[in-house]
Amino acid sequence: MSPAGALGRLRIGLSANVLDPDPDRRFYPRSHLVYAEDSMTRLFARHGALVFVVPLPDDAPAAPGLDEVVAELDAVVLTGGADIAPETYGEEPLRPEWAGQRTRDVYEIDLVRAALDAGKPVLGICRGHQLLNVALGGTLWQDIATQTGSDLGHRSQERYHHNRHDVSLVEGSALAALYPGRTRASVNSVHHQAIADVAPSLVVEATCPIDGVVEAVRLAGSAPGSDRWAVGVQWHPEFDAVADTEGALPPDALDATPIVEEFLAAARHARERRS
């Protein structure tokens, strides 16, 4: 049997990054753009999956809705990107620069609901980890340093994905089971928002040992064979997967492979249930 399996290659849908028209932008200044980062598409393609960007819905009568798009996919990834708008979780922005992208929030929340209702696994990465929490009823810190007093730099514009800190894996969690014998590991850190109130249906699977920031969550009961599977991680596994091929990761870095393989295993089980 080929790596793709008897039912063919898995079809993974990525939520779109969004750029509104900007006259100061040197490329496509008048265009509304949707896109995915190359490292994200490669992360799943290297495991044999077909990768697609899920378009924002169109209100034209003939345009497919998100539920129709999700029906053609095996799983959904909520990608990184701009801040989540505080209005999305019932707050006002504390600063103008934290206003976020409300349009994208609405699209991705609808995408989460369509995927979970259809029994399709959802993996949230960075912004996607936060969005998953908000979609299921949780809230965020608009800015970690301002609202929690933490002096750990969870984001550095200069270091970007080279900025790192440790995470502690929660003992007995499904995430910890993917890394036998490990209780701490190094991850990249490219965010200034973070989960505040954890959604009622999520369980925490990793935290930052320095300031307690929630670094990984899981929909309670999620396992590859369960009816509903959703996991969020605050770091970017795709950045480390690329850096690993370049020999640029520290020895204590958390390997992205087990997380990706569990997600794809959940997608295969979901497909098999429908076949």
Tens digit of pLDDT for each residue in 27-86?
898 998 888 999 999 999 999 999 999 999 988 889 899 999 999 999 999 999 999 999
Q: Is 218 a residue whose pLDDT tops 60?
A: yes
Looking at the chain, the whole-number percentage of residues with pLDDT higher than 70 is 94
Q: Are strands 194-195 and 184-188 parallel, antiparallel or unpaired?
A: unpaired
Count of beta carbons in the 10 Å neighbourhood of residue 223? 12
Of 63 and 217, the one with more pLDDT: 217
Tens digit of pLDDT for each residue in 192-216?
999 999 999 999 999 999 989 999 9
Distances (CA, A) of 48 to 10, 36, 43: 8, 18, 10
The gap from C-alpha 118 to its chain's centroid, in whole angstroms, comes to 19
Q: Is 245 a residue whose pLDDT tops 80?
A: no
Catalytic site residues?
Answer: 126, 236, 238
Q: Is this structure's pTM higher than 0.85? A: yes
Strand (E) or helix (H) holding 102:
helix 102-117
Buried b or exposed e, range 80-93, using 16+ CB within 10 angstroms: bbebbbbebbeeee
Q: Is 1 a residue whose pLDDT tops 60?
A: no
Of 59 and 102, the one with more pLDDT: 102
pLDDT band at 243 (very low <50, low <70, confident <90, very high): low
**Tokens encoding 200:** 């009622």
Query: What pLDDT score does 242 carry?
Result: 72
Q: Is 153 a residue whose pLDDT tops 90?
A: no
pLDDT band at 2 (very low <50, low <70, confident <90, very high): very low
Query: What pLDDT score does 3 carry?
Result: 43
Query: What pLDDT score does 151 carry?
Result: 77
Select 11-274's CATH number: 3.30.420.480, 3.40.50.720, 3.40.50.300, 3.40.50.880.
3.40.50.880
Looking at the chain, the whole-number percentage of residues with pLDDT higher than 90 is 71
Amino acid at 172: G
Tens digit of pLDDT for each residue in 127-152?
999 999 999 999 999 998 999 988 77
Query: What pLDDT score does 60 carry?
Result: 86
Query: What pLDDT score does 5 carry?
Result: 54
